[in-house]
Amino acid sequence: MVNVGVVGCGYWGPNLIRNFSNLKSSRVVSCADVKEDRLSHMKQLYPTIRATNDFREILKDPEIDAVIIATPVAQHYPVAKEALEAGKHVFVEKPLAQSVEEGKALVELAARLGRTLMVGHTFVFTAAVNKIKDLIWSGELGEIHYVASSRVNLGIFQEDINVVWDLAPHDISIMNYVLNSRPVSVSAVGQSYIRPGIEDVAFLTLKYPQAALANIHVSWLNPNKIRSTTVVGSKKMLVYDDISSLEKIRIYDKGVTMTPHYDTFGEFHLSYRYGDIMIPRLDDAEPLKTECQHFVDVIEKGVPSRSDGDHGLDVLLALETAGRSMRERGAEIAIEYPPRTESAK
């Protein structure tokens, strides 16, 4: 049994409280928020959970094993740091922190203290994303040429972060996870249409070591919500449409075949095969429940984490490099990965 305390009861916190409450192997002991109305709402919903406006009460509580952080991004680092220092395991919502520097410090701290640090990159716990990873690594798609992702909608304009930091963490996390790799370089262009200095539309290009390239299009300026990822392999292609409820993944038995065909005019022909489409059945489990259970399993059973601090830090590195590229008008910039921290666990 893992006893948790939840810091932040705003937009996402209640979902985490609900899920950790419903697990057989965890219990929510207390929650914290600076806003009184959020606390009283939590008390009404969960009368047995203690509620406090001082998150340090949670850190001091010896009954609590793990701290769940669902605060605004700016608080991720200070709260996670104190929680680790208090000896707690830490689950922090994505992105891990506001900067690579902060993220690196957290990863090192968790490793040094032998505590679990996990980042809430929920997509790596979805049935769809895991199906994509299976399809890639079983070889069914062939060699992966290209991944393209669109994540656009009419934006909830954030005050402090641009559209890249708001939406692209999902795509980078998904791509790193399904390719089991990390981009070697990033280039990005972004535009600020609505608020000066805060990009609301951006295009990123990531280069992965195995020659695959990836594009990410994020936008707050689209009346249609699109959540689509296309993976182009030498044998098959797939499209992952996260908006669709029942048909999230479509596998196209189409591919590009390079046929070195020289006719009298010396022409070089490429052909594509067009074939059947397969829509695999996926499980219905709520990803957030899987994610919370995973956090408990990492702590209790020591299973390797799909979304650990290193994963979260890799995402920060890509985001920060994208920001530099945007300021340099799209220049391709290599990502310098720090050496992986050895865990004391």
Q: Which residues contribute to the site for a second copy (CB under 8 A)?
A: 21-22, 44-45, 47-48, 145-146, 148, 154-155, 157, 159, 187, 189, 191, 193-195, 201, 203, 205, 213, 215, 217, 219, 221-224, 230, 232, 237-239, 247, 250, 252-254, 256, 258, 267-270, 272, 274-281, 329-332
Distance CA 265, CA 256 (A): 22
CB of 321 to a second copy, least distance (A): 15
| Of residues 223 and 304, the one with the C-beta less far from a second copy | 223
CB of 261 to a second copy, least distance (A): 11
Distance CA 39, CA 32 (A): 7
- The label of the residue with tokens 């299976």 reads 134
Q: Which of 102, 42, 101, 39 is nearest to 76 (CA)?
A: 102
CB of 112 to a second copy, least distance (A): 35
CB of 199 to a second copy, least distance (A): 12
Distance CA 218, CA 100 (A): 21
**The two structure tokens encoding residue 286:** 């709520």
Q: DSSP string covering 295-337, please?
A: HHHHHHH-PPPTTBHHHHHHHHHHHHHHHHHHHTTT--EE--P
Distance CA 262, CA 176 (A): 39
| Of residues 75 and 187, the one with the C-beta less far from a second copy | 187
- What secondary structure letter does DSSP report for 197? T
3-state DSSP of 79-111: HHHHHHHCCCEEEEECCCCCCHHHHHHHHHHHH
Q: Is the dihedral of CA 98, 99, 100, 104 positive or negative?
A: negative
| Of residues 107 and 188, the one with the C-beta less far from a second copy | 188
CB of 324 to a second copy, least distance (A): 14
CB of 300 to a second copy, least distance (A): 20
Q: What are phi and psi of 4, to 5 degrees?
A: -120, 155
CB of 211 to a second copy, least distance (A): 9
| Of residues 243 and 303, the one with the C-beta less far from a second copy | 243
Q: What is the SS3 assignment for 164?
A: helix
| Of residues 60 and 210, the one with the C-beta less far from a second copy | 210
| Of residues 270 and 344, the one with the C-beta less far from a second copy | 270
| Of residues 21 and 25, the one with the C-beta less far from a second copy | 21
